[in-house]
Amino acid sequence: MMTAVGVDMKHIADWALNTAAVRGATYAEARVVDERNRALGTKNGKIGTAGESESMGVGIRVIADGAWGFSATEELTKEGVERCAAEAVAIAKASAKVKSQELRLVPEKAAKVDWTSPCRIDPFTTSMDENLELLTRIDATLRAVEGVTLAETNLNFRRYEQWFYNTDGSEIHQTRTVTGAGYAAYAFAGNELQKRSFPNSFGGQWQNKGYELIEELKLLENAQRIGEECVALLKAPQCPEGRFDIILDSSQLGLQIHESIGHPIELDRVLGYEANFAGTSFLTLEKLNRLRYGSELVNVVADATEAHGPGLGTFAYDDEGVEAQCVPIITRGEFTGYLSSRDTAAMIGRERSGGNMRAESWNRVPIVRMTNISIRPGEKPLSPEELIAGMDDGIYMETNRSWSIDDKRYNFQFGCEAGYEIKGGKLGRLLKNPSYSGITTEFWNSMEAICSREHWTLWGTPNCGKGQPQQVMGTGHGASPARFKQISVGAAYKGK
């Protein structure tokens, strides 16, 4: 297959794999990536960000003398690729001198696949002027609300095309198109700041879709409401403190899953191979199939398959050639699975990788990452209104504002942008600065109800950081609104 610059991908792979074999590698893989990005944003009526970038190169990973080596280059000539492959082998042989154990990979069948994520409208066919016009209109609508002192918007497109080849015989071509957008309104009063975001905080909503996602989100239609809610928070009473039954909206529950389930199930963390960026994990090996993680309503999967939805963790094959799978993580409250790679799966006696190896781009080595880590919706029909009606006294919280969790992912505190009082089974007054805290397993064991499938949303988290050097990866988290009993609630960001 040829690229726009006329380089045959199979030739690049052959140069890499043949050189690695001659230099002494017992296994080798080459990932050629062609990536295009567009990032746009406004801030108080002015353009804050406007740019496009393109990047293309090859990452080569090998095993030699029983250790990994990795190198990457954007010089896609025969000489450049062969030099890169030789360097990867040299790094592997140097690493082998200090290895603590033998490296073994679980088997994986060779695959020859050509896959493209669904994309109805290519976002790069829209002009930057057209994109900025939409953002400017949203920005103006937010600032037209009296009391809004700052408005920010963003729009992002990404096309990620990858060719993967390895010495097992795999030839995998994948193309993913990602679209993301969102905005936020801020209101300042004295030394107090309030914020409301749409459709989610920290960049909005992102999915493996084309420009059709922008049409689905109804961004402009919701801007005035978001601005008004932001200003209303300044006069809203503080969220009370104490122990309350709470309801989390689906976006906040998605963030809760990310931090207190997604990260601790990464097997490299558990085994101690990844601790630099955000710590290790409380989910040590003896807890597998023995720990009650949550109530019987808690069913969580790591699902990279297209059937799960257009999540940022959806693909056909991971970055070491393992087919996308649905891996049970928590089954009726019991801890049943990790995120794994071909080598970490072998370390714990598994027969196959979970297909969780991903790299940010061609110049980063694949590491164990989240795919779509989602909680299954309730089996019986249940709406958010019915969830609220089942409470005499409680608090509804929506849209994450802050998070804090320890390095083992066990103790946490989360703040939300807005809360609502629940009295007598009805949603009441707006509350500002809501927050809640807990211990991971105690929190998930307190879940007593979750809404059904029609209220389930697959959220995109585009900015998950891990590794050294850091890699920023997109993950997906599907969730429905859910109710939890007797959670410790506080009032973060207390104002006067």
3-state secondary structure of 179: strand
Distance CA 450, CA 431 (A): 23
Residues 130 and 169 reside in one and the same domain: yes
Distance CA 8, CA 487 (A): 58
* Structure tokens, 215: 């049409």
Residues 342 and 438 reside in one and the same domain: yes
Could you list the residue range(s) of the whole structural domain that residue 330 is in? 242-491
Residues 193 and 296 reside in one and the same domain: no
Distance CA 321, CA 110 (A): 8
Last residue of a domain, one of 235, 262, 291: 235
H helix intervals, 355-427: 384-389
Distance CA 219, CA 179 (A): 14
Distance CA 210, CA 445 (A): 38
Q: Name beta bridge partners: 246.
A: 395, 484
Tell me which H or E stretch contains 189: strand 171-189
Residues 270 and 415 reside in one and the same domain: yes
Asked if the bond preceding 469 is cis, omega within 30° of 0, the reply is yes
Q: For residue 468, is it within any domain? A: yes
Q: For residue 1, is it within any domain? A: no
Residues 251 and 188 reside in one and the same domain: no
For the chain, how many structural domains are there in total? Answer: 2
HSE-CB of 3 using CA atoms within 13 angstroms: 20
Domain harbouring 166, CATH code: 3.30.2290.10
Residues 226 and 253 reside in one and the same domain: no
3-state secondary structure of 295: coil
3-state secondary structure of 177: strand
Q: Burial, 8: exposed, middle or buried (Cβ in 10 Å; 0-12, 13-18, 19+)?
A: exposed
Residues 82 and 216 reside in one and the same domain: yes
Residues 280 and 195 reside in one and the same domain: no
- Closest Cα partner for 384 from 447, 444, 446, 455? 455
The reported pTM is: 0.96
Q: For residue 165, is it within any domain? A: yes
Residues 231 and 250 reside in one and the same domain: no
Residues 152 and 284 reside in one and the same domain: no
In the chain, the N- to C-terminal Cα span, in Å, equals 64
Contact partners, residue 307, CB within 8 Å, separation at least 6: none
Helices and strands counted in the chain (H then E):
10, 23
- Express each pLDDT in 142-160 by its tens digit: 999 999 999 999 999 999 9
Residues 217 and 284 reside in one and the same domain: no
486: left (phi over 0), alpha (psi -120 to 50) or beta: left
Contact partners, residue 6, CB within 8 Å, separation at least 6: none
Residues 359 and 408 reside in one and the same domain: yes
Q: For residue 445, is it within any domain? A: yes
CA dihedral 358, 359, 365, 368 (to 10 degrees): -30
Q: For residue 4, is it within any domain? A: no
**Sign, Cα dihedral of 272, 278, 279, 280:** negative
Which amino acid is residue 228, in one-letter code? E
- Closest Cα partner for 105 from 357, 365, 345? 345
Q: For residue 336, is it within any domain? A: yes
Pair type for strands 242-248 and 393-405: parallel
> Which residue bears the tokens 């592997």?
92
Tens of each residue's pLDDT in the chain, 496 residues: 444 444 689 999 999 999 999 999 999 999 999 999 999 999 999 999 999 999 999 999 999 999 999 999 999 999 999 999 999 999 999 999 999 888 999 999 999 999 999 999 999 999 999 999 999 999 999 999 999 999 999 999 999 999 999 999 999 999 999 999 999 999 999 999 999 999 999 999 999 999 999 999 999 999 999 999 999 999 999 999 999 999 999 999 999 999 999 999 999 999 998 877 668 999 999 999 999 999 999 999 999 999 999 999 999 999 999 999 999 999 999 999 999 999 999 999 999 999 999 999 999 999 999 999 999 999 999 999 999 999 999 999 999 999 999 999 999 999 999 999 999 999 999 999 999 999 999 999 999 999 999 999 999 999 999 988 899 999 999 999 999 999 999 866 554 4
* Structure tokens, 390: 């089942």
Last residue of a domain, one of 213, 235, 257: 235
Q: For residue 30, is it within any domain? A: yes
Distance CA 305, CA 325 (A): 6
Last residue of a domain, one of 235, 270, 305: 235
Q: For residue 3, is it within any domain? A: no
Listed as own residue / partner, the contacts of 413-419 with beta carbons closer than 8 Å and 24 or more positions apart are: 413/437, 413/490, 413/492, 414/252, 414/255, 414/256, 414/259, 415/492, 415/493, 416/252, 417/194, 417/195, 417/196, 417/197, 417/201, 417/233, 418/196, 418/229, 418/233, 419/239, 419/395
Distance CA 463, CA 473 (A): 6
